[in-house]
A and B are shown apart, each in its own frame.
Chain A
Amino acid sequence: MAESSMFRVPQTIGHILCCKCGVPIVPNGANMCVTCLRSEVDITEGLKKHVIIMHCPECDSYFEPPRTWIKAQLESKELLKFCIGKLGDLNKKVRLVDASFVWTEPHSKRIKVKLTVQKEVLNGAILEQSYVVEYVQQDHMCESCTRIQANPDQWVAAVQLRQHVPHRRTFFYLEQLILKHGAASQAIKIKQVDEGIDFFFANRSHAMRFVEFVGKVTPLRNRHDKQLVSHDPKSNNYNYKYTFSVEICPICREDLICLPPKVATSLGNLGPIVICTKVTDRIALLDPFTLRHCFLSADQYWRVPFKSLFTSRQFVEYIVLDVEPVSNEVDFGGTKYKLADVQVARKSDFGRNDNIFYVRTHLGHLLNAGDYALGYDIYGANSNDMELDKYRGLTLPDAILVKKSYGEKHEKKRGKARPWKLKSLEMEVDESKGRSDNDKMASEYEGFLRDLEENPELRFNISLYRNREYQPSENASMTTGDDLPSVPLEELLADLDISDDEDEENNMRD
């Protein structure tokens, strides 16, 4: 039968009198009321009620032996955790049920924590009791604050980044990358010097991390050294100053390179004249006549280091007169190239004499008659390159076009604000070498910004911020023919403005 459940009498527990004071209570393990039980048994006996903790007033952190300092605000979760940890292993004696802070005046140097604990007493009755633990804060400066106080400019590790080229484009780009990834967040000081930047760190591991980061974005070689600062013979502690000397390879984008014969053969007989298309942790080289691509890693480069034949400073502007495509459009890793035979004339020659050059170029997909292009004028150049001399019977073309130019339109645009802006690192500028050529720097920076506009893949790793001051003028949108390449609005990040005004926070959603 399904419902043969036993009839159970409902049991109501009656009341008995507490054996000590006689108040009616529900029977428990000790058969005493809670007050009598409390008066008999004190479960907080033997627990610490008074503890001394060390506090660093400079950085507001608390000392956790043997060596760490824990940063915590007053009445915060971390401080509560730290304080409870200081009481020793509570779980062996009682069960902790609740813990909270009791307010104390911050200047009193006392922290009070109220703990509620439970313990089993006298035949199974569980008693719960609250008690207050008082912590006395003693002020004691932590090691790092002491060091900073003693000598504010003290650094332990330094990274010296150098690139032996006359322009600073790489460093502008590197600066943006560093900002985006926060690689220099632990740097004490950043100093800008001739042909490079110095970074100073408080910790050797921070410096190593920074060097590795840079190594991922540029091909470099480095060496490190250390210098003994102090030495404690008794405990055998040695304090050093570490220096990392990092050299970035001098090949930049859009450089024309003549490869040394060894390198050319190792790369599969890549024509000795190549253009560098991209520099990341590897150098991408493109042969403009065969449209062959290859990559050179950092160690491969530094094994046989070579210099560029022409750098982008030596660009000459050409006018394209005629384009004859030779091959079909090919796609190498996202960039399209098309071989074409073009008729060009130097801008300086145009209209003045009849110097026309017939050259083969890889920019057939971009150029049309009447366009402007930037390239290297080999016909008119007197290159003094040793590598070039090693090749016998090498015929050089008169000119090599590297990129399309928007020269005239840029003329119009000069002086107009851009809808986006970049942040910059706080750097000290070293004035001692007399290199304070601000105009040159400004024009290089402008060139860098223009580069960013034209190349979406360059923008990939960088954060661009919306420029609030930008007001598009009414007659700006009269582009005829080609559209000037510009940064689409979707790529821009709204600048996070952390101010007291809370409305600003909403702007992040734009």
Chain B
Amino acid sequence: MATRLMFENSCEVGVFSKLTNAYCLVAIGGSESFYSTFEAELADHIPVVKTSIAGTRIVGRICAGNKNGLLLPHNTTDQELQHLRNSLPDQVVVQRVDERLSALGNCIACNDHVALTHTDLDRETEELIADVLGVEVFRQTIAGNILVGSYCTFSNRGGLVHPHTSIEDLDELSTLLQVPLVAGTVNRGSEVIAAGMVVNDWTAFCGADTTATELSVIESVFKLREAQPTAIVDEMRKSLIDSYV
């Protein structure tokens, strides 16, 4: 199910939040309705954490993560790091990355199995990503843009990419990622997909300008219509809980 919302009159929801299958990060500030929309959807299943990273609100764009881990830029403060370690489930590895390209959210797009990265990422960072997030890393470009984290977003079910992506590129990416991909727009024709929406396996949040057409495209490619959160989370819980005491 896709929801439309706004952060402080901006439709770029993907800038101020980060959504994965195991947790959700939300920026501080603005009206409580932003936070409460996330809470209403997700609180039953995953923790929704209010935080700032490196003192900024643009949490969505400077961190990258999936259900296995979370990567933070080098300028994250220790308090923030501790706060995140405390708030997130134990199996999520929170790691600070020493990388020149500090907007990790713009450079890395990932789901639980595969990640696409900026072509100029360091070798160590690539290894770290493979380690922490437990994914296979591919260096790619999307429609000629190197900021893969901004121009595409994908979950374990499907993905949405920049509208100018050619058919050959789409096929290539689809085979790499092993998910169906579609070229489309969000927020009334905006090409910056990942800044305009956040998505996980059962829900998505888009900017308020998103038209009905775009919303229907998103719902169909990410297979959100029949998605039941409980089934997915239960699966996760099973692997989390060793025993009942």
What is the interface of chain A, defined by CB distance below 8 A to chain B? 9-14, 16-22, 27, 30-32, 122
- Checking A13, A17, A30 against B166 with a beta-carbon cut-off of 8 angstroms, the contacting residue is A13
- Given A12-B167, A20-B213, list of 19 further CB < 8 A pairs? A11-B166, A11-B168, A11-B169, A12-B166, A13-B164, A14-B165, A14-B166, A14-B167, A16-B184, A17-B184, A17-B213, A17-B214, A19-B188, A20-B188, A22-B212, A27-B164, A30-B189, A31-B163, A31-B185
Interface centre among A10, A13, A31 (most CB of B within 10 A): A31
Contacts of B168 in A (CB 8 A): 9-12
- Checking B170, B191, B217 against A14 with a beta-carbon cut-off of 8 angstroms, the contacting residue is B170
Question: Which residue of the partner chain B has the closest CB to A18?
Answer: B213
Contacts of B190 in A (CB 8 A): 31
Distance from B142 Cβ to chain A, minimum over Cβ atoms (Å): 13
Q: Report if A19-B185 is in contact (Cβ < 8 Å); known contacts: A13-B164, A27-B164, A31-B191.
A: yes
Q: Report if A31-B189 is in contact (Cβ < 8 Å); known contacts: A13-B164, A19-B213.
A: yes
Answer yes or no: B211 CB below 8 A from chain A CBs: yes
Contacts of A19 in B (CB 8 A): 185, 188-189, 211, 213-214
Main secondary structure of the interface of B (DSSP, over half): mixed
Which residues in window 169-189 of B have CB below 8 A to A? 169-170, 183-185, 188-189
Q: Are B211 and A27 in contact (CB under 8 A)?
A: no
- Checking A11, A12, A16 against B185 with a beta-carbon cut-off of 8 angstroms, the contacting residue is A16
Distance from A23 Cβ to chain B, minimum over Cβ atoms (Å): 9
Contacts of B188 in A (CB 8 A): 19-20
Distance from B4 Cβ to chain A, minimum over Cβ atoms (Å): 14
- Pull 16 A–B residue pairs with CB atoms less than 8 Å apart, ordered by A: A11-B166, A11-B168, A11-B169, A12-B166, A12-B167, A12-B168, A13-B166, A14-B170, A14-B183, A16-B183, A16-B185, A19-B213, A30-B189, A31-B190, A31-B191, A32-B189
Chain B 7-32 against A: per-residue CB contact (8 Å), 1 yes, 0 no?
00000000000000000000000000
Distance from B207 Cβ to chain A, minimum over Cβ atoms (Å): 12
Number of A-B contacts (CB under 8 A): 49
Contacts of B163 in A (CB 8 A): 16, 27, 31
Contacts of A27 in B (CB 8 A): 163-164, 183
Question: Which residue of the partner chain A has the closest CB to B164?
Answer: A27
Shortest Cβ-Cβ A-B pairs, 5 listed:
A31-B189, A11-B166, A22-B213, A27-B163, A14-B167
Question: Which residue of the partner chain A has the closest CB to B187?
Answer: A19
Chain B 178-209 against A: per-residue CB contact (8 Å), 1 yes, 0 no?
00000111001111000000000000000000
Distance from B231 Cβ to chain A, minimum over Cβ atoms (Å): 30
Interface centre among B165, B184, B185 (most CB of A within 10 A): B185
Q: Are B213 and A21 in contact (CB under 8 A)?
A: yes
Distance from B1 Cβ to chain A, minimum over Cβ atoms (Å): 20
Contacts of B169 in A (CB 8 A): 11
Q: Are A17 and B217 in contact (CB under 8 A)?
A: yes
Distance from A34 Cβ to chain B, minimum over Cβ atoms (Å): 13
Contacts of A30 in B (CB 8 A): 189
Question: Which residue of the partner chain A has the closest CB to B215?
Answer: A19
- Checking A9, A10, A20, A122 against B211 with a beta-carbon cut-off of 8 angstroms, the contacting residue is A20
Contacts of A31 in B (CB 8 A): 163, 185, 189-191
Contacts of B211 in A (CB 8 A): 19-20
Considering the chains assembled together, what is the distance between the CA atoms of A13 and B164 in angstroms? 7
Contacts of B184 in A (CB 8 A): 16-17
Distance from B221 Cβ to chain A, minimum over Cβ atoms (Å): 11
Question: Which residue of the partner chain A has the closest CB to B209?
Answer: A19
Question: Which residue of the partner chain A has the closest CB to B184?
Answer: A16
Considering the chains assembled together, what is the distance between the CA atoms of A77 and B244 in angstroms? 93
Considering the chains assembled together, what is the distance between the CA atoms of A17 and B182 in angstroms? 10
Distance from B44 Cβ to chain A, minimum over Cβ atoms (Å): 32
Considering the chains assembled together, what is the distance between the CA atoms of A20 and B166 in angstroms? 22
Which residues in window 117-171 of B have CB below 8 A to A? 163-170
Considering the chains assembled together, what is the distance between the CA atoms of A12 and B143 in angstroms? 11
Considering the chains assembled together, what is the distance between the CA atoms of A185 and B31 in angstroms? 86
Considering the chains assembled together, what is the distance between the CA atoms of A17 and B213 in angstroms? 7
Considering the chains assembled together, what is the distance between the CA atoms of A443 and B127 in angstroms? 121
Considering the chains assembled together, what is the distance between the CA atoms of A12 and B189 in angstroms? 21
Question: Which residue of the partner chain B has the closest CB to A17?
Answer: B213
Considering the chains assembled together, what is the distance between the CA atoms of A122 and B187 in angstroms? 14
Question: Which residue of the partner chain B has the closest CB to A12?
Answer: B167
Distance from B124 Cβ to chain A, minimum over Cβ atoms (Å): 29
Chain B 211-232 against A: per-residue CB contact (8 Å), 1 yes, 0 no?
1111011000000000000000
Contacts of B185 in A (CB 8 A): 16, 19, 31
Considering the chains assembled together, what is the distance between the CA atoms of A18 and B188 in angstroms? 9
Considering the chains assembled together, what is the distance between the CA atoms of A81 and B184 in angstroms? 45
Question: Which residue of the partner chain B has the closest CB to A125?
Answer: B189
Contacts of A122 in B (CB 8 A): 189
Interface centre among A9, A12, A17, A30 (most CB of B within 10 A): A17
Contacts of A12 in B (CB 8 A): 166-168
Considering the chains assembled together, what is the distance between the CA atoms of A32 and B164 in angstroms? 13
Contacts of B214 in A (CB 8 A): 17, 19
Considering the chains assembled together, what is the distance between the CA atoms of A416 and B214 in angstroms? 99
Considering the chains assembled together, what is the distance between the CA atoms of A346 and B185 in angstroms? 116
Interface centre among B184, B189, B191, B212 (most CB of A within 10 A): B189
Considering the chains assembled together, what is the distance between the CA atoms of A22 and B191 in angstroms? 16
Chain B 99-111 against A: per-residue CB contact (8 Å), 1 yes, 0 no?
0000000000000
Question: Which residue of the partner chain A has the closest CB to B169?
Answer: A11
Contacts of B166 in A (CB 8 A): 11-14
Contacts of A11 in B (CB 8 A): 166, 168-169
Distance from B108 Cβ to chain A, minimum over Cβ atoms (Å): 24
Considering the chains assembled together, what is the distance between the CA atoms of A507 and B217 in angstroms? 77
Considering the chains assembled together, what is the distance between the CA atoms of A12 and B190 in angstroms? 21
Considering the chains assembled together, what is the distance between the CA atoms of A71 and B28 in angstroms? 72
Distance from B209 Cβ to chain A, minimum over Cβ atoms (Å): 9
Considering the chains assembled together, what is the distance between the CA atoms of A96 and B168 in angstroms? 38
Contacts of A18 in B (CB 8 A): 213
Contacts of A20 in B (CB 8 A): 188, 211, 213
Considering the chains assembled together, what is the distance between the CA atoms of A446 and B183 in angstroms? 96
